[in-house]
Structure 1
Amino acid sequence: MVSFALGELSTHYDVNYAVAGSAHSSSLAWDRSGDVFMMNASKYFDLLRMTPQGKVSRFAHISYPTVARGMAATPDGGVMIGGDSGLIQVDSKGGFGPVQTSYQFADPRPIGARSDGSVIILDGRSVWALKDGKATSLYGKPGGPREGLGTVDESGTAYVQPTGQTLADMLVLPPGKDPHRLQISGNLPGTRIPISGLSPSSLAPARGGGFYAMATSSIGNSANYTYYVIHIRETTGTVLIKATHDRICPTGQQYPALESPCVMPWFVTQLGDQVLVMGSSTMSGKTVPALAVRADTE
């Protein structure tokens, strides 16, 4: 595992700022070519795109009335962004405008897209598929507080994580099949802690199937957390990074991935053959270095 300065990927655009807001204001999205889209959304903001080779460019400059809280790359080469002011569609050339839908969402949060062109959207405690303006309910009932987070993998399976819950509570929605809870076996290496007991705070689709999660565990009421990056595919979980410390590690150096001394950043994403963990800053405003480890998608 290597620690590196995320901001050095671009001299023109502030990549650190784009992923500095945790899930409250920053969002990531992924397209099928492997590009990663990043935004820190507050009324006027740049939507950045990072290629699998690490090249960063501005995809669009967006105006949104309030704080946007979620986005998904769409099969037509654009991006759909949502929040409590509704949905906007950004086309492949950076133009944008409101999305007209058959259902009036309260606080829509796009989390990914399926190959049939439908965008999966969280709205309160409900999950929807939106295609050509038509909204189809997949799970739950309208209303209630906003559900936690989610992602959509290559097969079109959506994974929805309730706020404050563990992987055992994750909802899995495969295309054309009934929703079910995530079934994952086994314990964390060297412990009796079940993988299903981890609490994820960010998710990303994995190339080859399944998803990555940045997740935490604690013993009892302990404030001492252990942070993990884990690849989950079907019923199996593979730990890629384990961190129990909060050291700001010098960049450009190698560290043991399964005994990392480095503070864990917020977002997890796959970029080429690497898994990156990036984003967030300390209470003093110091940027947390990003971490990179080889992807496990076999």
Structure 2
Amino acid sequence: MAETGKVAAFALSEVSTEYDLNRASSITSGHVASDGKGNVFLADGFKTPDIPILRMTPDGKVSQFAKVTTSSADSGFAVAPDGSLVTGGNDGLSRVRPGGTATPIPSTHPFTRPEPIGVRPDGTVIVTEDSSVWSVKDGKADEILAFPAEQGRARATVTANGTVYATNGRLPDLHVLAPGQAPKTVTVHGTLPGAGTPLSETAFEGMTQAGDGGVYARVLKDPQKGPAGFVYLVHIDPAGALTVMARGSEEAKSCPAGQYPALDNPCQLPWFLARSGDQLLALGSVVDPEHKPTPALAIRATFK
């Protein structure tokens, strides 16, 4: 448990001796998602042709949720309100229930590599593919947002009430699509200490929902604008106010288990973000030259 104002670094390898959570959260082959109960799901993409999907509870118990073929889940997954997973891969969209196999989800759009990023309370699946955001409900697919193709893949997340936050990877604007409301754009405002660059030159590298209806995000200086320097874990509330939760490095550095000042710590900030209770977990094994996995980080939520 992280203290307020600090990040708690811990070794994923010590959470379970039976399952390799470092490998399952590797940014080269893994995918991570979480549900409203604080469970974190990780897919071990290194194991083929069948991918084990692991579940880690808030108290650190790890088990195998299901096992699916690579083509069913190699582009990601999201947790549905009923506890099932919606997975995406070369086979399109599928649904996976505990201990079960992947069952295809029909769609009027022929997805080739969809990434499910959330499921609304009414069962609508929200999917990104390339530079577009799609909704899929009762087999009908609708493109609800499209960014210019040359700007790369869309990034998005879905909050508990079904609101979609989406971006083309650049700040300061977030596109917000709430159920039953017209789309709007929220301008993110705040400062990144030590960044030496405006928010307009900052890039998103991941988002996940926050408990207040806003989002958590991993941001850094846009790589097209030069070396990143610091990487930040931030909270963005529904009005666009940005609060920096932690500041770390983009480079691999030694970070023994322990607690460090959130805005001045020696840790590399991992790739994937997942909510677990009142903690934000940053996971994602980045191997340094000595083949030491990057420690996971836990940060206490900043909103009330």
**Both proteins in one fold, TM over 0.5:** yes
* Deviation larger for 189-198 or 205-214: 189-198
CA contact (8 A) 2:95 2:104 kept: yes
Sequence identity (%): 38
Which of 217, 221, 228 is equivalent to 1:217? 221
Q: Secondary structure at the residue paired with 2:107?
A: coil
**Structure 2: distance between partners of 1:82 and 1:197:** 31
One-letter amino acid of the counterpart of residue 10, structure 1 = S
Which of 155, 160, 163 is equivalent to 1:157? 163
**Structure 2: distance between partners of 1:110 and 1:217:** 26
**C-alpha deviations, 1:141-179, integer Å up to 9, x for none?**
9988962322111221112232xx422244322222233
Q: Note the C-alpha offset of 1:40.
A: 3.5
CA contact (8 A) 2:35 2:275 kept: no
Which of 124, 127, 130 is equivalent to 1:124? 130
* Deviation larger for 113-122 or 195-204: 195-204
CA contact (8 A) 1:124 1:144 kept: no
Corresponding position of 1:173: 177
1:154 to 1:66, Cα distance in 2 relative to 1, 3 A: closer
1:191 to 1:248, Cα distance in 2 relative to 1, 3 A: closer
Corresponding position of 2:245: 240
**Structure 2: distance between partners of 1:14 and 1:224:** 30
Q: Note the C-alpha offset of 1:230.
A: 0.3
1:91 to 1:247, Cα distance in 2 relative to 1, 3 A: same
Which of 231, 236, 244 is equivalent to 2:235? 231
Corresponding position of 1:36: 40
Q: Secondary structure at the residue paired with 2:266?
A: strand
Which of 211, 235, 241 is equivalent to 1:207? 211
**Structure 1: distance between partners of 2:226 and 2:150:** 30
Q: Note the C-alpha offset of 1:227.
A: 0.5
**C-alpha deviations, 1:184-238, integer Å up to 9, x for none?**
1222246664445431212111122211111112699542521000011121111
Runs of 4+ in 1 over 6 A off after TM superposition: 141-146
Corresponding position of 1:140: 146
Structure 1 length as normaliser, TM-score? 0.88
CA contact (8 A) 2:219 2:233 kept: yes
1:201 to 1:133, Cα distance in 2 relative to 1, 3 A: same
Corresponding position of 1:51: 57
**C-alpha deviations, 1:101-145, integer Å up to 9, x for none?**
232223211100111111101123322211232223322399889
* RMSD value, Cα: 2.6
Corresponding position of 1:71: 77
* Deviation larger for 80-89 or 92-101: 92-101
Corresponding position of 1:295: 301
1:90 to 1:227, Cα distance in 2 relative to 1, 3 A: same
**Structure 2: distance between partners of 1:104 and 1:184:** 34
1:224 to 1:118, Cα distance in 2 relative to 1, 3 A: closer
1:64 to 1:19, Cα distance in 2 relative to 1, 3 A: same
**C-alpha deviations, 1:46-98, integer Å up to 9, x for none?**
10112222222110011133761121111222101112331121024433222
Aligned length: 293
**Structure 2: distance between partners of 1:219 and 1:96:** 37
Of the two structures, which has the highest relative contact order with CA contacts closer than 8 Å and spacing of 6 or more?
Answer: 2
Corresponding position of 1:276: 281
Structure 2 length as normaliser, TM-score? 0.86
- Structure 1 regions of 5+ residues with no counterpart? none
1:218 to 1:161, Cα distance in 2 relative to 1, 3 A: closer
